[in-house]
Chain A
């Protein structure tokens, strides 16, 4: 039983950042802007917030510091994603190229800044993890569910779940969500009924920036005590989650759990006798999410659920 608890806890550590970042990607793509810069934005958000933690941890600690860091991560993500928004919305440039550029700039800038700002040119930013919640009061004592979800957890897990619920409501039950989706499906039609397509697309990209920035921090906190200018391809994995989940919040939720589970098995299978005996090496588990995504794509792309205008710059003159 303990191994199952442990695996579920691990799975949450890996799934929640994927969930948050993929939801971010969903807002961007649903508004009509392809955002492969998620990886870079995660790095930017993680860098700013972890640097903030490393500087402030002498003054404060625990949940207050983490909440402030979350704010910093989201804001820095928004600022960094402005670059992508400006290039792909105002300048109508190729969204894939601008996204690739951001993915290259973020880690390079993170290393440059870390080595310039820290003594001795050290690249890693160290921090002390004071954020773990051993046991949530009351909820942690529930049998089975308690040890799975309310022990050894982080406040970010619950924030991620709240973001999931809010995203689903915003996308399907609000005027904003309807307009956002309209801009991703048929911007000309949306414009003709008075929706400002540029504004909605900015909203989509900046939301994805905030969530991806936050996701960067959420990824680093539980699994490490330093930040080394990388989120190990999580932004791209989140892109896979987004597609695997067919651009819907519910789909993304389950895809994130599945991919997170694979990551959890890959990272901790050596300590679990049952999985050890299967004799499948960790690299295979790590490959499974990507192969699964390709398989889904191969069978669903003919009638893809992707937003129709995603990736196409909006040109008012073509109305």
Chain B
């Protein structure tokens, strides 16, 4: 009983943030067009279910990159760093994996997509490590440098694509298809998540990426909670000076933490762009990848817990897919982005609410203890 209570209390800030965000979204719908606001809310909450198994597959597909960027942001949080640079790390990783996916055709079979993914991971890692190095050795605020690296990454990627002979599709202003072998396998998921359209199976875009993402989340959970290395990183997050006193090299911890955070965003980019059936294309525009910022929402909602982040990622993907069906009611799907933003806003201070709640409970508990004696202890 008390364990469930404890668990509920620990996720209550996220639940409060989600409920407040959705309530605010409902009010927006109500103001835009009161007649179908309630139906609109239902459509948002139904999310993927609006389109049967295919819709659920889409949820998994959208969840893949934001679970990973959420892990990236959440992992950095654990070491007391705010990784707002997931967007840049993601696009750098994506470019690297696309480069390998297009050019390294000498790699046989499954090896091709695996190497492409690993190279993307490595590129993201380097991009994150730079932020960590600047923070550890030059005392540069990681938020500011990560923002700068987001833009350097974006312009750099655009430049590299445009100046490449093999990658650039001038007509469509984007990258060309990756090789068949570089595409991440469907892992049989297309046989589960589809709807029947006449004689055809209309499969969703989901692929093996979601399995990789969940696997990585579990690995990160183990690394943070069950290893000495993870313990050191967390110790630095709690109190940098105390952990230095305890003999932990806090500079190394900062660099390691940002490198891993970058690597996680790099995988996100790789999984996102090595997608069936021809690979997604990086479009040459001057817009930061939104998955990086959604990762912040996911990490906050998941309370930086890798397992929580899986569910938070699924939830954000769920309402995003739901938003696409709002169009039929005459609402614009961007209301979902507003809701996600509001959820971040509310979660910024819902942690505070929990503290207030615990202190009220404690005060209340003490009062009960005074008046009723020992009975109140349970």
Contact = CB atoms under 8 A, between A and B. Distances in A.
Interface of A: 36, 83, 87, 91-94, 96-98, 100-105, 107-109, 111-112, 115-116, 121, 230, 232-233, 236-237, 239-240, 243, 281, 283-284, 286-287, 290-291, 293-294, 297-299, 301-302, 304, 306
Nearest to B300: A97
B143 interface: yes
A103 B288 CA distance: 12
A295 to B, nearest CB: 10
Nearest to A297: B140
Nearest to B346: A101
Interface residues of B, number: 48
A291 B348 contact: no
B148 interface: yes
Main secondary structure of the interface of A (DSSP, over half): helix
B352 A91 contact: yes
Given A115-B332, A290-B148, A98 B352 contact: no
Interface in B283-340: 286-288, 293, 296-297, 300, 331-332, 334-338, 340
B359 interface: no
A297 B144 contact: yes
Contacts of B114: none
Interface stretch (B154-162, B212-220, B270-278): B154-162
B140 A301 contact: yes
B286 A232 contact: yes
24 contacts: A91-B349, A92-B352, A96-B82, A98-B348, A100-B344, A108-B336, A109-B341, A112-B334, A112-B337, A115-B332, A116-B32, A116-B331, A116-B332, A233-B286, A236-B151, A243-B144, A281-B162, A283-B155, A283-B162, A286-B151, A290-B148, A291-B148, A291-B152, A294-B134
Given A287-B156, A298-B138, A301-B139, A108 B348 contact: no
Contact of A94 (B148, B334, B336, B348): B348
Nearest to A107: B337
Given A112-B338, A283-B162, A297 B147 contact: no
Contacts of A115: 332, 334
Contact of B155 (A286, A301, A302): A286
A100 B296 contact: yes
B334 A108 contact: yes
Q: Which 10 A-B pairs have the closest CB atoms?
A: A108-B337, A105-B341, A104-B341, A101-B345, A283-B159, A93-B349, A101-B344, A93-B348, A112-B334, A97-B348
A318 B145 CA distance: 30
Contacts of A36: 84, 143, 147
B207 interface: no
A34 to B, nearest CB: 8
Given A105-B345, A115-B332, A283 B156 contact: yes
A291 B162 CA distance: 20
A297 to B, nearest CB: 5
B337 A301 contact: no
B141 interface: yes
Contact of B151 (A97, A100, A287): A287
Nearest to B154: A233
Contact of A301 (B141, B297, B331, B340): B141
Given A96-B82, A287-B151, A302-B139, A297 B337 contact: no
B342 interface: yes
Given A102-B345, A104-B344, A239-B144, 6 more contacts: A107-B337, A116-B331, A230-B287, A283-B162, A287-B152, A291-B148
Contacts of A107: 337
B163 interface: yes
Contact of B341 (A101, A283, A304): A101
B148 A121 contact: no
Contact of B332 (A87, A93, A112, A304): A112
Nearest to A121: B332
B332 A294 contact: no
Contacts of B156: 283, 287
B312 to A, nearest CB: 15
